[in-house]
Structure 1
C-alpha cells in the first residue's frame, strides 16, 4: 500500500513538472499567434520612405471608351487597397442622371453601379476628381475619367476656357474652391436654377476648365460658385458668371472667359421683419429692390410721420417712428412704382427699446490731418449743436475747430482742427449734443486721442484719359491686395482727381463704370442677362511721398 502511494506521488510530480514547462512557453506562443493575426489586417507600414504615389489602375471592366454600352456595373481594379474621400463632391457624371450612381469599395476594386435611367445615344463621362485615394497615405488618383456611349458613337467635341472673380478680376483657388463650370443645352434652359446642370466641370488651380465628349448642340455656359454643392444656382450667397449669348457647338471651342459675381434671386422674399433695440422696424429682403418705396396703409396716420432709410444695396430697409403705440402695422412695398409685397408686422407685447443715440467716430486713439474726426450713428441724426461739443487741447478748451455737416451724407458730421504733434486731445459730446428726428438724444460721450504724427503726408494729382465723355465713373483708392478702400469718389467731367495731404504709402486704383449712376458697383443679373458693371484696375502701385507733390496722367482702357 505504501509502495503504491509512492508511485502515485512520483507520477503526480512528473505531471506537474511537464505542465510547468508548457505553461512557461504559452505566452511566447500567444504573442506569435497575435502577430500573425495582425499581419492579416491592413496596417500602415512602419519605417521606410513615405508612399507618395496614387493608386495604379490595373484594369477596367468593361473597357474604357466603349460604345453601345449595356452593362450595369463598371469595375476598376488597382494595385493597392483604396478608399473614397468627399465622394459626393468629387465623383461626378456628365450629363447628369436622374438617379445617383452607387460606388462600392471591395478591397482593391471600385465597383460603379449604374442606374436604369441612362438616355439612349448619349456619351457619359464619369470623373472621380480627387475622391479616390490609396488606403494608407490618402494619395489621390487625380481626375480619372471613364467614358462610354449608349449609342454607336462617342461624342468628341469640347469647350474650354477660364473663369475669374468679376470683382477682383483674378482667380484664387483658396477663396474660390467651390467654383465650377456648368453647361446646359438650350433645350433644357428652363431647368436653370431649378435642377442640376446637365454638364459640369471642375476648375484647375489657375482657373481653367474643359468639357470633353460633347455632342453637337446649342448650349448656355455658366461659372457657378456652388456653395452647397448641388450643381444648382440658388442665388443668395452663390456667385454666377455667364455669356449673354448661347454657344452653337459644331467644332471644338476654346478661350471662353467667364467672370462670376454675386448673383440675385429670381423671386422676391421678405426674409426678416422685427423691431430692433433702437425702436426701428427692420425689413430684410432676399434681393435688392429697384427704386423702392414703403407706405404704411394701416394705421394710415403713421405713414406721414415715419422716417424711411434703405441701405446702399437696397436690400434692407429701416423705418423709424416717434411712438411705438401700435399693435400691428400693414405696409406696402413697391418697386418701380409697382406693388411688390404687402407686409404685416405684429408687435411683441413685452417689447423694450432704447432710442438713445450712440455716437460713432472714425478714430480710436489717433487722428490724422486727412479725414480728421467723423461723427455718425446707426440711428438717424438731425443735428449736432456745436455749443455742446467741447474740444480740449492739453486740457485747455478750444473753440476754433470746424463742425460741418457732410455735403452728401447729411447724417455725417466732420470735426476739423489744426492738430499738433505730441499733444493730448479730448473730445466731449455733452448730453443732448446730438438730436434725432423725434428729439432723441445722446448721453455724454468722451474720447481721448493724439495726432498720428508717424504718418508723412504728400499730394498727388491724377489726370485720366481714355474715359467716355458720356459715361459716369467712380474711383476708389485701394491697397495692393484690392481689399481696403481708402477713398471713394465720383470722377468729375474734368477727369482730374487730387489726393491732398495723404499719408505716404503704396496705393492702387479701381475705376467703376457706373452705368446706372447709382454711386456703387452693381454685380450681374443672370435672369435679365445683364452683365456686371465694368471694372478697371491700375496694374501697378504708386507711392505718395512725404512732403512731395506729384502729377501723373493715367490712360484707362476697359476690356
Structure 2
C-alpha cells in the first residue's frame, strides 16, 4: 500500500493516541496541591545553642526555607537588655541579629523571638523560638514565669514589659534599667529563662516610651509584694512500669521555683491636677474636664463682673467632668465670657495650694441668610405672635413591653427650678374615673434633672401617665408641655431569674450583673457581707455575666492599687460561664468566693460552643461528601479502559 493510501489511517491512529494520552493524564480535576502548613525548620545556628565563651558580634539562624523577618525587630526581646537596638538582617535563608554594642562579660543572653519568624509561602510561624548563649564559661539556667492581667477585668495584657531588678531599692524601677526583661504573649504569659541566682523585684509595665523605667502617672504598673529568689529542684521518679530489679529505671524532672507569679496591672492614682478641656457647648452650657476629681476643691468666678446665682453646676459621679449651665440670660447672650477656675494643686514640695486658671468661653450663633430672615419676619407678621416656648419631657416609656422591675424616668433637658409632684398622675387606662395609683415620686440621685416614679406594676396591664402643662419650670422660666402617654407592662412569665448562692464570703463583696460584651456595663449590683443567696429577678431572656468585687475598704466601689504606698488593687472574680436566661426559668448557681490565686477568667458561652461544634461537624460531613463525589468522578474516567497501569 502506498504512503498516500496509508495517510488516513495514520491520522486516525495519531488522533486516537492523543485521546488516550489525554485520558491517562487527566484522571480528575486538577488541584493546587496541599497547602503548606509546615513552619520553617531551624537547621543551623552560629554560635551553637547554649554556646559558652562567645565573643562574637552577631547571631545567625539558618532555616530550611526563606523567611519573612518583618515582625522580628518589633517582637524580639534580648535579655539582659541592650542599650542599643540590634540590627535585623536576612541573607538567603539566614536571619542575622547584629549587636550594635559590646556584650557584657560572663553573662548569659537570651533572645526571645516569640512567633515573629514566619516562612515566605504561607507565613507559618516558628512558634516561641528562644535562643541563648553565654559570654562566660557557664550558662545560667534558672527560670521565672507567670502571667500579667488587667486588674479590673482580669483580661490578659499582651506585650506588657516584665522587669527583674536586682537593685532592691524602691526607686530602682523609676531610675535604673532592669537586669532582665521579658514580654507577654497574647495570653499575657511571660518567661524569664537563663537567669542567674539572686534576689529580685519583679514588675510589669506598659512602658509607653520604651525607656525600661516606670513613669509614674503616665504608665500602668504591676508589682509582686515580696522578693523572688529563683531556684531549681530535681525530682527523681521511679518508672513503675519496668519490672525486675535489674531493669529499674529512675527518671525525673527539674522543678523551677518560685511557682508562676500572677501580676495585676493597674493605673496608679497620682494627684497631678490640671484642666484637660474647656468648651462652651451652647450659649447656655459649658463643660470643664479635669484629669483628677475636683470634689470640694472647685470654684468658678467671673473676672469682669459680680453676679450671684448665675450658674448651675452638674458634675459627673467621679467629679472630674463638670457641666455648667449659665442661668443669667443676659450673661449667656455675650459671645465671650471670661471666667476664673480655682482648684487644688501640688507644688514642687508636694504642698497643696490653690491653682487659678483664666479661661475665655466663646460661642457665636451661625449667621442666618438675610433672605431667610426677611421671609421669617413676613411669616411671623402673617401668623401672629410666636407660641410660648415649652420644653418636652424625655422618658423611658414605650407603648408596650414596659419592664415590671423598672421605674418610670422623667428627664428635663435643662436644670429645673421647681416641679410640682401633685401635677403628675398615673392610673389604669381602663379606669374611666382616672383614679390615681399610689406611685412613689423621688429625685434620681445618680442622673441630673431626672425623677423616678416607682410602683409594683401588675403584669400585662395598661397604664396611663399624665403630667399637667406647666407642672415644671426650668431656670430660664420655660415651662413643660403636657404629657399623656400609655404603656403596657410585660407578662410575668416573660422573665427569668438568677439565684446565686455565695459561700466563703470573708470580706464585703459587690456582686454585679453585667451585659455579655467586652465593655461589661453594670445592669444591677448588690452588696453582700456574709454567705447568702443573692437574687437577680425580672431578667429579660438574654445572656449575662456575673462579677464580684472584693470591697476590702467597704467604700462601695472598686479601687486601684498604689506602688508608692505598697498595696494591690482590690480583687475581682467572675463566674466563668455566660448565663443564659430563659423565660419563666430560674438559674440556680453556687459560687465559692474563696480568692483564686491564679485570677482565672475564662468565660465560656456553652451555647456558642455547641453551635460551633455542630457547624464543624456539618462542614466535616460536607467535606466527606465532596471527597466521595470526587472519587466517583475519577472512577468514571477509569471506566473507559484507560488507567495509568494500562499505559
1:357 and 1:434 in contact (8 A); partners too: no
**Could you say which residue in structure 1 is the equivalent of 2:11?**
none
The 2-side partners of 1:526 and 1:270 are apart by 25
The structural deviation recorded for 1:348 is: 1.6
What's 1:134 paired with?
Answer: 119
Equivalent of residue 343 in structure 1, options 351, 357, 369: 357
1:475 aligns with 2:485: no
Question: How far apart are the structure 2 equivalents of 1:135 and 1:555?
Answer: 50
TM-score of the two chains, using structure 2 as the length reference: 0.64
Structure 1: any 5+ residue segments left out of the alignment? 1-45
Contact 2:272 2:345 (8 Å CA) reproduced:
no
Give the counterpart of 2:162 among 161, 170, 181.
Answer: 181
Distance in 1 of aligned mates of 2:51 and 2:360:
65
Deviation of residue 333 (structure 1)?
1.5
Alpha-carbon contact 2:459-2:492 (below 8 Å) kept = no
Which whole-Å CA distance do the structure 2 matches of 1:386 and 1:406 have between them? Answer: 11
Q: 1:400 is paired with a residue of what secondary structure?
A: coil
- Spell out the pairing of 1:375-524 with structure 2 (5 A cutoff): 375-376=410-411, 380=415, 384-386=419-421, 388-389=423-424, 399-400=436-437, 402-406=439-443, 408-409=445-446, 411=448, 412-417=450-455, 419=457, 433-436=471-474, 449-453=487-491, 455-457=493-495, 466-467=504-505, 472-478=508-514, 483-491=520-528, 509-524=546-561
SS in 1 for 2:115: coil
Contact map agreement 1:189 1:220 (CA 8 A) in 2: no
CA shift, 1:153, in A, is 3.5
Aligned to 2:37, which of 29, 36, 52?
52
Q: Secondary structure at the residue paired with 2:298?
A: strand
- Structure 2: where are the runs of 5+ without partners? 1-30, 233-256, 367-388, 597-647
Counterpart residue number, 1:257:
262
- Cα contact 1:372–1:416 (8 A) shared by 2: yes
Give the 3 Å change call, closer, same or farther, for CA 109–424 of structure 1 in structure 2: same
Q: Which whole-Å CA distance do the structure 2 matches of 1:82 and 1:440 have between them?
A: 72
Indicate conservation of the 8 Å contact 2:53/2:134, yes or no. Answer: yes
Query: Aligned to 1:89, what secondary structure does the other structure show?
Result: helix
Aligned to 1:143: 128
What is the DSSP-based 3-state SS (H/G/I as helix, E as strand, rest coil) of the residue aligned with 2:132? strand
- 1:81: how far off? 1.3
Shift of residue 293 of structure 1? 2.1
Q: How much has 1:259 moved relative to structure 2?
A: 2.3
Deviates more, 1:500-509 or 1:249-258: 500-509
Distance in 1 of aligned mates of 2:283 and 2:566 = 40
The 8 Å contact of residues 444 and 452 in structure 2, kept in 1 or not, is answered as no
Deviation at 1:89, TM superposition (A): 3.0
Moved more, 379-388 or 270-279: 379-388
**Higher mean displacement: 193-202 or 85-94:** 193-202
* Residue 107 (structure 1) shift: 2.3
Whether 1:211 aligns to 2:153 is no
Query: What corresponds to 1:282 in structure 2?
Result: 287
Match of 2:571 in 1: 534
TM-score, normalized by length of structure 1? 0.72
TM-superposed CA distance for 1:114, in Å, is 0.7
Kept after mapping to 2: 8 A contact 1:235/1:266: no
Q: Deviation digits for residues 66-116 of structure 1, max 9, x if unmatched?
A: 344332232222211111233343222122222111111222111222112
* 2:497/2:539 contact within 8 Å kept: yes
Q: What's 2:405 paired with?
A: 370
Q: Could you tell me which residue of structure 2 aligns to residue 102 of structure 1? A: 87
Maintained 8 Å contact 1:504/1:543 = yes
